[in-house]
Structure 1
Amino acid sequence: MSGVTEKHYDTIVSPVITEKSTIAAENNQHVFRVRIEATKLEIKSAVEALFGVKVKAVNTIITKGKAKRFRGRPYKRSDVKKAIVTLEDGHNIDVTTGV
């Protein structure tokens, strides 16, 4: 794990553990919440450095925050960026263990 910097830890916020992401993990795809400003190259280098795997592709999605109400007062949820990381064959990540 040489070359791991603080920026790598700041790029990846958390893994997304849902039913859909668990099914995707069977196809060597893992889903992470990332910083809104993070680029695909930054995400790729962070995953490779933190988990010691080889990344094949990175796809990103920005989910816009919904307008909601709580006790009659409106507010807006934050925008969230997710990265779907496809790993090379033979590489695997166990997201249930901490980094």
Structure 2
Amino acid sequence: MKLLKHIDFIKYPILSDKSTELLKLRQYCFLVDKRLHKLEAKRAVEFLFAVRVSSVNSCNRSPKCRQIGKFSGRKPSYKKIIVTLAPGNSISLFADS
């Protein structure tokens, strides 16, 4: 894990109805590398966004089966983290116009 840089750990933020509601509670959702541990996730978010993280929750999502017509397949599995920031910290996910 030492060979990867902090920017390689976090792939992109997850923007859904639930994650936008969590922004009110200073919680941010990110899709991350499957091998990432909670402590490494905390360090990566603190380094990339220059914020103070109070807690990290993570979950591994299993692959889902999908079928379109006669073709069936599987969506890939992924790891998601929910980061809670300390009071007074925030991450700007949307560009200010």
TM range, normalised to the smaller chain? Answer: 0.7 to 0.9
- Structure 2: state its 5+ residue gaps: none
TM-score (norm 1): 0.86
Say which of 57, 68, 73 aligns to 2:55. Answer: 57
- Structure 1: state its 5+ residue gaps: none
Say which of 73, 76, 91 aligns to 1:75. Answer: 73
TM-score (norm 2): 0.88
After superposing the two structures, state which structure 1 stretch, 6-15 or 55-64, moved more.
6-15
Matched residue of 2:47: which SS? helix
Q: In the alignment, what sits opposite 1:8?
A: 6
Query: Is 1:66 matched up with 2:64?
Result: yes
Provide the aligned C-alpha RMSD in A: 1.5
Moved >3 Å (runs of 4+): none
Distance 1:41 1:78 in 2: 24
Shift of 1:73: 2.5
State how many pairs are aligned.
Answer: 93
Q: In the alignment, what sits opposite 1:31?
A: 29
Matched residue of 1:37: which SS? coil
- What percent of counterpart residues are identical? 35
Matched residue of 2:81: which SS? strand
Matched residue of 2:36: which SS? coil
- Counterpart amino acid of residue 59 in structure 1: N
After superposing the two structures, state which structure 1 stretch, 26-35 or 73-82, moved more.
73-82
Shift of 1:7: 1.5
Q: In the alignment, what sits opposite 1:17?
A: 15
Q: Could you report, residue by residue, the CA deviation over 1:42-92 in whole angstroms, capped at 9, with x for unpaired residues?
A: 110110000000000000011111112234222111101110000000000
